[in-house]
Amino acid sequence: MPPSNWRDEPAAGAAAREALLIRLRERIVAFAASQTGRENAEDLAQEVLVLLDEKYPHVTALDELVPLSLKIVRFKLAGWRRKAHRRGEFSSVPVDELPLADGAESPLDAAARREMLDRLRRALAGLGARCRELFRLKLEGRTFAEIQAHFGAATLNTVYTWDFRCRKELLHRMGGKWEAEP
């Protein structure tokens, strides 16, 4: 006589089936918890039990169910790890551990900025009056045509030439580099 399906058993077999599922669930959770955390193990055990109920209702013996369920758990764990890796969950940092950005400039950046401004001021002070005025107008956002009108230059190319020469002179006075040597 073929083994009876536990779904077809009367109420007396329901208690035996319940005890079998509880023992099986404990083993699944223990195995999954050894591979992942307890919270994930509970979810995996639930998924495995649902899969066993839907796809393997004909397997009823505990000695057949345990290896089958552990095999399913291994596949589910591999899928869970792939998904977690793809989402970056292994390398994520909890939000509570992240420092909050204050938006202020770091002391190192502030010092570098002050030094750069000091170098720039010294270099600008050594330039001629026309170059200083040209840079002032450019910093105000004036166009080259407006600067031409301001200086009364004959052509726009003259202003371009002055700009090139002034920038070249400024770079020379700053030591040949915009950034200071460390």
Average pLDDT over residues 96-122: 85
Quickly state the pLDDT bin for 169 (edges 50, 70, 90).
Answer: very high
Q: Which amino acid is at 89?
A: E
Region 111-139: what's the mean pLDDT? 92
On the 0-12 / 13-18 / 19+ scale of CB atoms within 10 A, 44 is buried
Q: Which of 13-27, 76-90, 126-140, 157-171 has the lowest mean pLDDT?
A: 13-27
| Most confidently modeled range among 23-32, 65-74, 78-87, 164-173 | 164-173
Average pLDDT of span 44-63: 84
Whole-number pLDDT of residue 7: 52
Mean pLDDT of the residues in the chain: 83
Question: How large is the average pLDDT for residues 150-178?
Answer: 91
Report the predicted TM-score, pTM, of the whole model to 2 decimal places.
0.43
Q: Which pLDDT score is estimated for 166? A: 94
Please give the pLDDT value at position 6: 47
Fold of 122-182: Arc Repressor Mutant, subunit A (1.10.10)
- The 10s digit of each residue's pLDDT in 61-99 is 778 888 888 898 899 888 888 888 888 777 777 777 777
The top-scoring range by mean pLDDT among 19-28, 54-63, 148-157 is 148-157
Domain borders along the chain are 11-92, 122-182
Cα 18 to Cα 7, 11, 12, 15: the distances in Å are: 11, 11, 11, 5
Residue 150 tokens, joined: 């301001």
Name the residue among 9, 17, 4 with its Cα closest to residue 52.
17
Question: Are 65 and 24 a contacting pair, CB within 8 Å?
Answer: yes
